[in-house]
């Protein structure tokens, strides 16, 4: 184990994979000599050169199409978008081609492609640089979506993404990029579809995503002083989604809250809620609750930004409401 930041841990996974597999290459604006807007590729240009650390102009749809072709023909592209918002400029390519190619080729073509970018509200980055949008990608057959919440998972999930055969969205919350934590040295993979129970408890289950895991843990710690025992589940990937671990937790607690910074309608909370009512109705002692970011475009002002995302206060309030149900 070595103490590393989230970004360092993910970069270690990328660097190790690039050393091992010459088919891996990175494209993106500033991904080359600059080392990535968020240092996602720092130091790799010097090692692997401009062919494998490929700077691009601002033309998302173009380089997504190019990378889709590269993946179809045996390479392993990693597309570094800086911000997830920019992925939206290439959605036509992604949904109409990238996600369907394995199906349309009857499995003869593989689509090993990693699409990475920052998500999250909270740096006065305004409405074009604060999006998360991962529920879109969960909706489309063929995509996988990883949402690491800590450095060790960042390394492990990225390593798994780099060795799979499907297009994977690897989403990095901006608040977590400099978060430090112990990271296993050497080879470390976290399988997709395996949630982590990050805190055990008996009174209610809180499923939290990315940065919300940390808020939920703090709330759980505070409430433990009152004898309230929360179980916190971090799904780690939402496509595939580990429904079984969530159900097992609800079987224990009877109560469920899903905390997700993204918008509520048709979101991950709705998906989890539907699974639990379908498969765990008799386990429920209270209606399922969801806590999401406000359903509005992200504001620029820091005080308004704070008002549109769940925080410790709103999580605690919602937990209390859930326990009073």
CA distances from residue 231 to 244, 255, 261, 273, 304 in whole angstroms, order as listed: 15, 10, 19, 16, 30
Closest CA to 79 of 41, 119, 135: 41
- With CB under 8 A as the contact rule, the residue among 73, 108, 186, 282 that binds other proteins is 282
Instruction: Output the CA angle 130-194-228, nearest 5 degrees.
Output: 80
Whole-number minimum distance, CB 324 to other proteins, in Å?
Answer: 6
Contact by Cβ (8 Å): 237, 157: yes
Contact by Cβ (8 Å): 260, 233: no
- The answer to whether residue 270 forms part of the interface with other proteins (CB under 8 A) is no
CB-wise, 189 or 279, nearer to other proteins? 279
Element (H, E) at 169: strand 167-173
Per-residue binder mask for other proteins (CB under 8 A), 296-325, x = binder = ----------------------------xx
- With CB under 8 A as the contact rule, the residue among 80, 231, 283, 305 that binds other proteins is 283
- With CB under 8 A as the contact rule, the residue among 286, 294, 311, 312 that binds other proteins is 286
**Choices 60-68, 123-131, 239-247, 280-288; region in contact with other proteins by CB under 8 A:** 280-288
Torsion region of 19: left, alpha or beta (phi above 0 gives left; psi -120 to 50 gives alpha): alpha
Joined tokens for residue 202: 């008996």
CB-wise, 189 or 320, nearer to other proteins? 320
Q: Is 129 a catalytic residue?
A: yes
CB-wise, 284 or 294, nearer to other proteins? 284
Three-state DSSP state, 119: strand
**Choices 172-180, 191-199, 283-291, 298-306; region in contact with other proteins by CB under 8 A:** 283-291
Question: Within 137-196, which residues bind other proteins (CB under 8 A)?
Answer: none
CB-wise, 185 or 325, nearer to other proteins? 325
Whole-number minimum distance, CB 32 to other proteins, in Å?
Answer: 56
CB-wise, 116 or 289, nearer to other proteins? 289
Question: Within 223-262, which residues bind other proteins (CB under 8 A)?
Answer: 254
CB-based contacts of 139: which residues, under 8 Å, 6+ apart? 266
> Dihedral, CA atoms, 202, 249, 282, 273, nearest 10 degrees?
120
Contact by Cβ (8 Å): 24, 55: no
Whole-number minimum distance, CB 287 to other proteins, in Å?
Answer: 9
Please tell me the distance from the alpha carbon of residue 217 to that of residue 186, in angstroms, as a whole number: 28
Cβ-based neighbour number of residue 117 at 10 Å: 24
Which listed residue (48, 129, 175, 214) is catalytic? 129
**Choices 21-29, 116-124, 257-265, 284-292; region in contact with other proteins by CB under 8 A:** 284-292
Site size for other proteins, by CB under 8 A?
9
Whole-number minimum distance, CB 321 to other proteins, in Å?
Answer: 9
Rg (the chain; Cα; Å): 20
How many C-alpha atoms does 248 have within 13 Å on its Cβ side? 12
Whole-number minimum distance, CB 45 to other proteins, in Å?
Answer: 56
Per-residue binder mask for other proteins (CB under 8 A), 68-87, x = binder = --------------------
How many C-alpha atoms does 189 have within 13 Å on its Cβ side? 11
- With CB under 8 A as the contact rule, the residue among 95, 197, 264, 284 that binds other proteins is 284
Which residue bears the tokens 């990883």? 146
Contact by Cβ (8 Å): 173, 211: yes
> Could you list the active site residues?
129
Q: List interacting residues with other proteins (CB under 8 A).
A: 254, 281-286, 324-325
């Amino acid at each position: 184990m070595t103490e590393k930041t989230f970004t360092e841990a993910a970069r270690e996974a990328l660097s190790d994979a690039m050393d091992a597999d010459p088919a891996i290459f990175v494209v993106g604006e500033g991904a080359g000599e600059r080392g990535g807007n968020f240092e996602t590729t720092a130091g790799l240009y010097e090692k692997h050169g401009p062919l494998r650390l490929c700077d691009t102009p601002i033309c998302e749809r173009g380089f997504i199409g190019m990378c889709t072709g590269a993946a179809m023909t045996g390479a392993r592209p990693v597309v570094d978008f800086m911000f997830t918002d920019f992925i939206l400029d290439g959605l036509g390519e992604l949904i109409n081609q990238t996600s369907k190619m394995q199906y349309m080729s009857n499995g003869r073509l593989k689509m090993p492609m990693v699409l990475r970018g920052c998500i999250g509200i909270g740096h006065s980055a305004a409405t074009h640089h604060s999006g998360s949008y991962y529920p879109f990608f969960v909706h489309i057959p063929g995509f996988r979506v990883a949402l690491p919440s800590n450095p060790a998972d960042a390394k492990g999930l990225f390593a798994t993404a780099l060795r799979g055969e499907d297009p994977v969205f690897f989403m990095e919350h901006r608040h977590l990029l400099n978060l430090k934590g112990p990271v296993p040295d050497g080879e470390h993979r976290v399988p997709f579809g395996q949630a982590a129970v990050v805190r055990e408890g008996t009174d209610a289950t809180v499923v939290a995503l990315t940065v919300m895991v940390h808020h939920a843990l703090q709330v759980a710690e505070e409430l433990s002083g009152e004898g309230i025992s929360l179980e916190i589940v971090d799904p780690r990937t939402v496509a595939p989604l580990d429904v079984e671990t969530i159900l097992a937790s609800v079987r224990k607690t009877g109560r469920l809250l899903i905390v997700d910074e993204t918008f509520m309608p048709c979101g991950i909370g709705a998906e989890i809620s539907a699974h639990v009512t379908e498969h765990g109705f008799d386990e429920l002692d209270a209606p399922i609750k969801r806590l999401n970011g406000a359903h509005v475009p992200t504001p620029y002002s820091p005080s308004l930004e704070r008002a549109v995302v769940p925080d410790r206060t709103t999580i605690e309030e919602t937990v209390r409401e859930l326990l009073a149900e």
